[in-house]
Chains A and B, each alone.
Chain A
């Protein structure tokens, strides 16, 4: 099959499966999960084919397997297009989504009994949305998929969640939706500016990027649009202090929902930053860099500290996500190649290890019907295989070298340190150094809460909650559950041992992004020991020029 056709097929197969499951009357739980598994597996296989066909020498700005056509004609030569394709950034996230969906279906296998057909239909719909977000090459199409992911997850949490599911679902929906409306305004403003500048009404992401780099927005507008985009993306990430919907949604969501939410949906936020904010609004990105680095750092430390005092395993891992995504943002807003590469790796790593951790918590919950840390203890004796996987993903999560978490983390730390040491904007040298040092300290805290969790739940004398009435014996992981985790643990090892395999596609994509942003930072003198008054004067002059420009324009 031709690659573009394959991509479109990969996108629509889950949609087809979802429609089939929703419409087919009276499907049993058994049948519907088989259908879902089949669809998810075939999607994964097709995604692997796509990734395998990805050319190693893709030039920056080029898109692989581009397909699609006009969708809604607005004026001649300017249409909203259904246009999809993959590049170095979206490739691995695309693959990650299809991989995690397989895990999500497998962990729901026995947990979901009521309205199973609808559940799997929603799950597949969610997969379609996730794949679409990463493949979209049109700004409107991106937004449609972006919103599209909300609805299935809203129902997944609201129908199949735990006790407090309605509150959680509504909060999740309103929180993210509010942000994304602002994001939409921001995206429209970008389109509007390009139309205003070049007279071309285009929605293509590639064209918009090129136009906005050739004729950038005036600085004050960049700030405004950046903040609008920030509202939606930062909530999705979630960046401190916009994270409070996350623990709630995670705790209430069914296991599959948590896996996808942590593994894929959070990445849409970080993806959005790299796709839109950095290349299209480089000056604003550079200007906001210290602030976002600061927020990311607070997220790292704060998330880790709050995770430390959690009594619910799932909530603990949810807060660890806040911490890990902080690293992601930290690397991204280092705005250099090491940091950005690390950030993209960290996205994939967090998806794999946190997704797997949520799956493991779900498996524990199925056995003991509790997630309270204090009710469990010494489970290694009862569940050795589960503990084995738990240890792998814990080690991956705390960034043990040789496993995947480390690769992202060390690149992020190198990036942020390099930014602080050699490229700090004038006046920010000390602050950035402090941020870099404290972020390394975040690694220590990360080990603390995870190892303490493992110690309390899996080591020590055996402690189990009082059995429920049916006295069913607790069994270790079965083949299906191992199958759900094994691919993820293989990925943990692969990324840990040979990250260069993944970096080689990411790196070329990031090169132009870094260089365009760098040009906006280079106005400042970068040598730390040469920070002098004249540099800040230069910056003030620049700002003044930008402001004058923007005012004169309006």
Chain B
């Protein structure tokens, strides 16, 4: 591994360049760069993209055979914070001479550390590539905005935060950049701050994310308390670890390695917290992931976030930031595998959200909101895939993340192109039949729609199939396990052997939930996913037909200069369309030597991702491998996709009378309103959380003003009052004074006696 230095330089450059661009644009933008404010960001992000390609090349060429757990390279920059001897835990080490209780003490040290591994590099390449195209597009889209430099400064800052998010190697720093992308999102959603709705949407996004971060922070605290470290990687303990010699705490030998949460040694030993603590950690992490990736019940901020400029929606709220939750779950998959109950929750939330968001998207009239709900739905697919907990599922989730980034960014930019032409109108009822007017936008949008629906051979087909296939495999695996357990119930001796061989985890024995209950859930989720795929195809087709077909209608706001967008906007669209078309096929390896049913056995992307240390450990590798292509699943998903598109064509290509009739019918049952008003989730939150908290706050204020301060003022009046009483005692009557003197003496003596006696 002689190329460590190259890798370290690359990983630092990838993040540092956008940061430099952000600072440069902020400093030079308002005075000097003005119309050229996009240049620093554009150049920096492009170079970052090249660097991340180089990084992938380096990691691929690296011979990972020397390590049993996947390749990783750690690059430490500076010490962020350090508190000596912060962690003390008594651990029973029963390895050598019997049970000896040793007190383990080590420092709390947070180094700013970057890591390079397969997962990181794949995310980096995706993020920088999409960012580059979006910045390219935005150079045209934001042309006449007074905040031109501000926009590109924020975007570059976001790219910096996002690249750091996927490359840091420490949980606390992950949290840091988790919030940093959140604040960039806040700034960009509220970019047009004069709009009250934009300002409110920004605040809402930040607060809902904060609720998610509440879970993340608790998970962080719990991990610190459980694992005693926040680093992902192993750190050799420093030579001065036992320098401060106060307190009788025998530190371990100096060359003892501090094992990271996802360090090589821990991965090799499969030493992850299971049971209640492990499940709690995973569920709390999941809350954080739900906040960032807009999963139920924290999905409410994403549709409102569409108030931001459309390139921002494409970049942050479709392709990159919202996938951070998926990234985190994948990164921590060994932890989740140790807590199977939490995995089921991940899958269930994913499946449920996919269906819920799909249902809401059916009736939305705002093109961007349809896409926003579609994003939530697709993220649900990713969570469902990752929630299977098999290598096939995790890689399928990442694969869907990648393809989704391309076609969803494409769709959003296409919507932006439409908005640009329609004078910022985005209500689909106000325009239509744009296919002649905007041919390039139309064709690229069509490719995006087909990819999203999962039509062969576009990108979405492959990734959605991988997701469904993974769930399918999981069901098979669980059925198999169930049969085995039924079979072995009669033969306890073999059962024990099988359990040992099946579950290599030492802590897998306690409270292992029965696969039977999981089996039902996964079976249900499979059909939920199929239904969601149908809905996806339907609402995508609906949006497409409403926008580009039917008679030509242009809103008044567009004036008479509605036109195809300039090249600076159509070029990124075309590039993304190309990617959305081929990125699926490109990663699928056809093996013609095999029979037809087994030809599609390898997925290069999945293979590459599986080299991540978190996934390359035995524990994950033991699960179902990726690549199994299921013709039955593919046929089913293609059928529902075609059905969905066909049905939407049936409704929206012809005259819309039918639609109105169906809408009226659905309205009469109340189903339509349920979907149109987003299942009233916002209203429920306002009613159940916001208003009660505000009420409690008012009560607290009243309490503060009247009771506490009143009590204080009452105490303040006591001396005045006492003075009044005492004044009346000062009457100059000597025997009265004498009597009080004696009384006082008696009290003192009594007090002294009581004190001594009691």
A310 to B704, CA, bound (A): 12
User: Which residues on the B side are within 8 Å of A448 (C-beta)?
Assistant: 207, 210
A443 to B212, CA, bound (A): 12
Which residue of chain A has its CB nearest to the CB of B698? A309
B180 at the interface (CB under 8 A from A): yes
B80 at the interface (CB under 8 A from A): yes
Are A309 and B244 CB-contacts (below 8 A) given A381-B194, A402-B176, A498-B80? no
Q: Is the Cβ of A305 less than 8 Å from the Cβ of B214?
A: no
Which residue of chain B has its CB nearest to the CB of A406? B176
User: Which residues on the B side are within 8 Å of A500 (C-beta)?
Assistant: 79-82
Mark B203-215 against chain A: 1 for CB-CB distance below 8 A, else 0: 1001100110110
Contact of B177 among A401, A443, A507 (CB under 8 A): A401
User: Which residues from 430 to 461 on chain A have a C-beta closer than 8 Å to any C-beta of chain B?
Assistant: 436-437, 440-441, 443-444, 447-448, 451-452, 455, 458-461
Are A447 and B221 CB-contacts (below 8 A) given A459-B199, A511-B246, A515-B247? no
Contact of B214 among A401, A441, A515 (CB under 8 A): A441
User: Which residues on the B side are within 8 Å of A12 (C-beta)?
Assistant: none
User: Which residues on the A side are within 8 Å of B108 (C-beta)?
Assistant: 337-338, 414
User: Which residues on the B side are within 8 Å of A503 (C-beta)?
Assistant: 81-83
Residue of B78, B84, B86, B178 most packed against chain A (CB within 10 A): B86
Contact of A499 among B80, B177, B179 (CB under 8 A): B80
Q: Is the Cβ of A407 less than 8 Å from the Cβ of B697?
A: no
A32 smallest CB distance to B (angstroms): 35
Which residue of chain A has its CB nearest to the CB of B186? A451
Please give 11 more A-B residue pairs, beta carbons under 8 A apart, in addition to A341-B83, A413-B221, A460-B193: A241-B708, A302-B704, A305-B700, A337-B83, A414-B221, A418-B87, A421-B222, A451-B186, A455-B200, A455-B203, A500-B80
Q: Is the Cβ of B194 less than 8 Å from the Cβ of A244?
A: no
Which residue of chain B has its CB nearest to the CB of A446? B210
B212 smallest CB distance to A (angstroms): 10
A411 at the interface (CB under 8 A from B): yes
Would you list 6 pairs from A and B whose C-beta atoms are within 8 A, ordered by A residue?
A: A337-B86, A338-B86, A401-B179, A417-B221, A460-B199, A554-B756
A274 smallest CB distance to B (angstroms): 15
B480 smallest CB distance to A (angstroms): 36
Are A440 and B225 CB-contacts (below 8 A) given A511-B246, A515-B246? no
A68 smallest CB distance to B (angstroms): 29
Which residue of chain A has its CB nearest to the CB of B176? A401
A551 to B79, CA, bound (A): 51
A336 at the interface (CB under 8 A from B): yes
Contact of A421 among B79, B190, B225, B700 (CB under 8 A): B225
Q: Is the Cβ of A461 less than 8 Å from the Cβ of B196?
A: yes
Q: How many A-B residue pairs have CB under 8 A?
A: 159
Are A336 and B246 CB-contacts (below 8 A) given A413-B217, A422-B225, A452-B203? no
B655 at the interface (CB under 8 A from A): no
B105 smallest CB distance to A (angstroms): 11
Are A306 and B704 CB-contacts (below 8 A) given A338-B86, A444-B210, A554-B755? yes
A504 to B193, CA, bound (A): 41
A447 to B89, CA, bound (A): 34
**Which bracket fits the contact residues of A?**
35 or more
Residue of A437, A459, A461, A503 most packed against chain B (CB within 10 A): A459
Contact of B194 among A337, A406, A460, A504 (CB under 8 A): A460
User: Which residues from 186 to 200 on chain B have a C-beta closer than 8 Å to any C-beta of chain A?
Assistant: 186, 190, 193-196, 198-200
Interface of B is mostly: helix
A494 at the interface (CB under 8 A from B): no
A518 at the interface (CB under 8 A from B): yes
A305 to B698, CA, bound (A): 8
User: Which residues on the B side are within 8 Å of A110 (C-beta)?
Assistant: none
Q: Is the Cβ of A414 less than 8 Å from the Cβ of B224?
A: yes
User: Which residues on the A side are within 8 Å of B700 (C-beta)?
Assistant: 302, 305-306, 309
B712 at the interface (CB under 8 A from A): yes
Residue of B79, B206, B217, B758 most packed against chain A (CB within 10 A): B217
B172 at the interface (CB under 8 A from A): yes
Which residue of chain B has its CB nearest to the CB of A506? B83
B457 smallest CB distance to A (angstroms): 43
A421 to B206, CA, bound (A): 29
User: Which residues on the A side are within 8 Å of B332 (C-beta)?
Assistant: none
A378 at the interface (CB under 8 A from B): yes
A240 smallest CB distance to B (angstroms): 9
B587 at the interface (CB under 8 A from A): no
Mark B333-365 against chain A: 1 for CB-CB distance below 8 A, else 0: 000000000000000000000000000000000
A333 smallest CB distance to B (angstroms): 16
Q: Is the Cβ of A451 less than 8 Å from the Cβ of B193?
A: no
Q: Is the Cβ of B180 less than 8 Å from the Cβ of A459?
A: no
Mark A134-152 against chain B: 1 for CB-CB distance below 8 A, else 0: 0000000000000000000
B693 at the interface (CB under 8 A from A): yes
Mark A233-262 against chain B: 1 for CB-CB distance below 8 A, else 0: 000000001001100000000000000000
Q: Is the Cβ of A418 less than 8 Å from the Cβ of B217?
A: no
Mark A498-526 against chain B: 1 for CB-CB distance below 8 A, else 0: 11100110010001100100100000000
B696 at the interface (CB under 8 A from A): yes
User: Which residues on the B side are within 8 Å of A515 (C-beta)?
Assistant: 246-247
A418 to B225, CA, bound (A): 6
User: Which residues on the B side are within 8 Å of A245 (C-beta)?
Assistant: 712
Contact of B193 among A458, A518, A554 (CB under 8 A): A458
User: Which residues on the A side are within 8 Å of B694 (C-beta)?
Assistant: 308-309
B651 at the interface (CB under 8 A from A): no
A452 to B190, CA, bound (A): 13
Q: Is the Cβ of B206 less than 8 Å from the Cβ of A440?
A: no
A338 to B195, CA, bound (A): 43
B90 at the interface (CB under 8 A from A): yes
B662 at the interface (CB under 8 A from A): no
User: Which residues on the A side are within 8 Å of B78 (C-beta)?
Assistant: 498
User: Which residues on the A side are within 8 Å of B190 (C-beta)?
Assistant: 459
User: Which residues on the B side are within 8 Å of A305 (C-beta)?
Assistant: 693, 696-697, 700-701
Q: Is the Cβ of A443 less than 8 Å from the Cβ of B210?
A: yes
A382 smallest CB distance to B (angstroms): 12
Which residue of chain B has its CB nearest to the CB of A423? B88
B709 at the interface (CB under 8 A from A): yes
User: Which residues on the A side are within 8 Å of B202 (C-beta)?
Assistant: 455, 459
A376 at the interface (CB under 8 A from B): no
Which residue of chain A has its CB nearest to the CB of B277? A421
A346 to B110, CA, bound (A): 18
Are A507 and B701 CB-contacts (below 8 A) given A447-B206, A455-B200? no
User: Which residues on the B side are within 8 Å of A309 (C-beta)?
Assistant: 694, 697-698, 700-701
A395 to B210, CA, bound (A): 13
Residue of B177, B186, B199, B213 most packed against chain A (CB within 10 A): B199
B443 at the interface (CB under 8 A from A): no
A436 to B693, CA, bound (A): 20
A175 to B178, CA, bound (A): 43
User: Which residues from 354 to 385 on chain A have a C-beta closer than 8 Å to any C-beta of chain B?
Assistant: 378, 380-381
A132 to B758, CA, bound (A): 44
A245 to B108, CA, bound (A): 38
Q: Is the Cβ of A308 less than 8 Å from the Cβ of B697?
A: yes
B699 smallest CB distance to A (angstroms): 9
A527 at the interface (CB under 8 A from B): yes
Q: Is the Cβ of B194 less than 8 Å from the Cβ of A461?
A: yes
Q: Is the Cβ of A440 less than 8 Å from the Cβ of B86?
A: no
User: Which residues from 381 to 409 on chain A have a C-beta closer than 8 Å to any C-beta of chain B?
Assistant: 381, 395, 400-402, 406-407
Contact of B199 among A443, A447, A455 (CB under 8 A): A455
B716 at the interface (CB under 8 A from A): yes
User: Which residues on the A side are within 8 Å of B704 (C-beta)?
Assistant: 244, 302, 306
B47 at the interface (CB under 8 A from A): no
A458 to B198, CA, bound (A): 13
Q: Is the Cβ of B697 less than 8 Å from the Cβ of A306?
A: yes
B610 smallest CB distance to A (angstroms): 31
Q: Is the Cβ of B217 less than 8 Å from the Cβ of A411?
A: no
